[in-house]
């Protein structure tokens, strides 16, 4: 009796062990495909990469450089899907998830960050985590707050960095000789020179980053706003911001009765001499605009002494991507020193590296240091020494909504 029971237990044990081994084997094979396996699987895939398509420079970099290179190196067909706003694609993914389309999606890679990333992450629309499995992620400094967190939302390997952006002030040294070097002195300058400054109306992204600078300026200790603040703290700090912006409005372009609807419009006003400053969330946009003949040659940029807001932009893979391995290979190529250096060339795009040049081999470090920068662009050192993190999306949305109610409608 005891014996038979023992035999049964024994047999049961064997089957469990076999099942466990099988489970572990298949499980680890799925989760831990080697990079060589991924490369082999990706060969011959077509990767559809959806992104904002409003910049000829970015489009030319993607279609004229990245696509032929990944074809040549990895046998991947890369197709760009240019859109007006990547949120349209995120909306499409939400519907596909609802409709139960869990495989065979035609969006393989998306260029996103911030609120779109948050929407994707919260709704389970992303494949991964995959970012830490890319060999080239060793060049990324994941300890930098602006890389580990995307607008206060932990990245957790669900997207791979592509580039970084930082706000710079733009002025024409032929017109303004001594630009105000802090947010406080800029506000003062605006009051003394009525009608000569404008910012795009939030929720435009560039306009809303101006509001966040004022928010930081009025409410001290920036670290506090990364998290761990109370609802009341935020409300009080936001109210102070609206108060200041309301009082500033009569000194703005057209008395603050109307705002430029986009940075493009602000740049046009600046180029036409109607206002004396523009600002950009792109370190090299001014140089680019000089090259393209949109700005005069005498335009320069600077950052505030206390710093300007910076963030990282990423690529992510949707949950139902048809070519997820191909998309990983493309994401890895985007992080390569070769691709990052090409992207940083102001004649190409001038986007700043997502990788930390200090982590590269000496030869590549030298090439990054020696890259042509464009007449109006600051050095990496000047920029990186003065960076402020973005607050969480929650604060961003709060300020955008509040601005409309309390500043635009003036209550």
Partner 1 sequence: MKRSGRFSAAATILAAVGLPFATLGLWSLADRWFFPGLLPQSWGLRAWSYILTSAGGQVVNALWQSVAVAAVTAAAAVLVALPAARALGLYEFRGKDPLSVLLTLPIIVPPLSVAMGLHLWFIRMGLAETFIGVVAVHLTFCLPYAVFVLWGVFANYNPDFESQARSLGASRPAVWLRVMLPMIMPGIVVAGLFAFLLSWSQYLSTLIIGGGRLITLPVLLFALMGSGDRPVAAAVSLVFVMPAFVALLFSARHLGGRSLAGVR
Q: Which residues bind partner 1 (CB under 8 A)?
A: 48, 50, 52-56, 59-60, 63-64, 79-84, 88-89, 91-92, 95-96, 98-99, 101, 106-107, 262-265, 267-268, 271-273, 292-294, 296
Choice between 33 and 106, CB closer to partner 1: 106
Least distance CB 226 / partner 1 (angstroms): 32
Tell me how many degrees the CA angle 395-170-366 measures, rounded to the nearest 5: 95
Choice between 207 and 263, CB closer to partner 1: 263
Least distance CB 60 / partner 1 (angstroms): 5
Least distance CB 375 / partner 1 (angstroms): 15
Rg, the chain, Cα only: 25
Choice between 98 and 177, CB closer to partner 1: 98
Residue 317: closest CA among 103, 52, 108: 108
Choice between 49 and 314, CB closer to partner 1: 49
Least distance CB 270 / partner 1 (angstroms): 10
E strand segments, 198-265: none
- Phi and psi at 221, nearest 5°, equal 25, 80
Question: What is the distance between the alpha carbons of residues 50 and 131, in angstroms, rounded to a whole number?
Answer: 18
DSSP calls for 70-119? HHHHH--EEEEEEES-HHHHHHHHHHHHHTT--S-BS--EEEE-HHHHHH
Least distance CB 152 / partner 1 (angstroms): 28
Residue 307: closest CA among 392, 222, 247: 222
Least distance CB 238 / partner 1 (angstroms): 30
Choice between 92 and 181, CB closer to partner 1: 92
Question: What is the distance between the alpha carbons of residues 213 and 111, in angstroms, rounded to a whole number?
Answer: 25
Q: How many helices (H) and strands (E) does the chain have?
A: 17, 12
Question: What is the distance between the alpha carbons of residues 293 and 149, in angstroms, rounded to a whole number?
Answer: 36
Choice between 65 and 229, CB closer to partner 1: 65
């Amino acid at each position: 009796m005891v014996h038979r029971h023992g035999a049964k237990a024994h047999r049961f044990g064997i089957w469990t062990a076999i099942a466990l081994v099988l489970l572990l084997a298949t499980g680890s094979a799925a989760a831990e495909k080697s990079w060589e396996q991924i490369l082999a699987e990706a060969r011959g895939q077509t990767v559809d990469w959806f992104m904002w398509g409003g910049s000829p420079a970015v489009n030319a970099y993607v279609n004229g450089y990245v696509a032929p290179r990944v074809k040549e190196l990895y046998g991947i067909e890369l197709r760009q899907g240019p859109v007006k706003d990547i949120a349209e694609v995120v909306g499409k993914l939400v519907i596909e998830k609802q409709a139960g389309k869990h495989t065979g999606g035609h969006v393989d890679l998306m260029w996103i960050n911030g609120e779109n990333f948050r929407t994707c992450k919260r709704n389970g629309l992303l494949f991964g985590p995959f970012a830490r499995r890319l060999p080239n992620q060793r060049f990324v400094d994941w300890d930098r707050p602006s890389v580990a967190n995307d607008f206060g939302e932990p990245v957790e390997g669900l997207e791979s960095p592509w580039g970084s952006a930082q706000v710079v002030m733009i002025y024409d040294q032929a017109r303004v000789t001594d630009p105000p070097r802090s947010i406080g002195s800029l506000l003062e300058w605006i009051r003394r020179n009525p009608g000569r400054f404008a910012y795009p109306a939030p929720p435009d992204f560039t306009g809303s980053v101006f509001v966040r600078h004022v928010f930081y300026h009025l409410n001290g200790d920036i670290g506090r706003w990364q998290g761990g603040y109370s609802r009341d703290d935020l409300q009080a700090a936001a109210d102070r911001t609206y108060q200041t912006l309301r009082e500033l409005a009569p000194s703005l372009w057209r008395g603050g009765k109307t705002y430029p609807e986009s940075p493009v419009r602000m740049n046009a006003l600046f180029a036409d001499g109607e206002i004396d400053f523009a600002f950009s969330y792109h370190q090299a946009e001014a140089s680019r605009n000089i090259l393209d003949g949109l700005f005069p040659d005498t335009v320069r940029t600077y950052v505030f002494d206390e710093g300007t807001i910076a963030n990282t932009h990423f690529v992510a893979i949707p949950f139902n991507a048809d070519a997820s391995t191909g998309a990983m290979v493309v994401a890895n190529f985007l992080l390569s020193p070769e691709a990052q250096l090409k992207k940083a060339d102001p004649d190409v795009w001038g986007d700043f590296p997502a990788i930390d040049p200090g982590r590269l081999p000496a030869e590549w470090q030298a090439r990054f240091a020696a890259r042509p920068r464009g007449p109006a662009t600051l050095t990496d050192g000047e920029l990186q020494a003065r960076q402020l993190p973005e607050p969480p999306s929650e604060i961003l949305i709060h300020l955008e909504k509040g601005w409309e109610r309390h500043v635009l409608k003036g209550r």
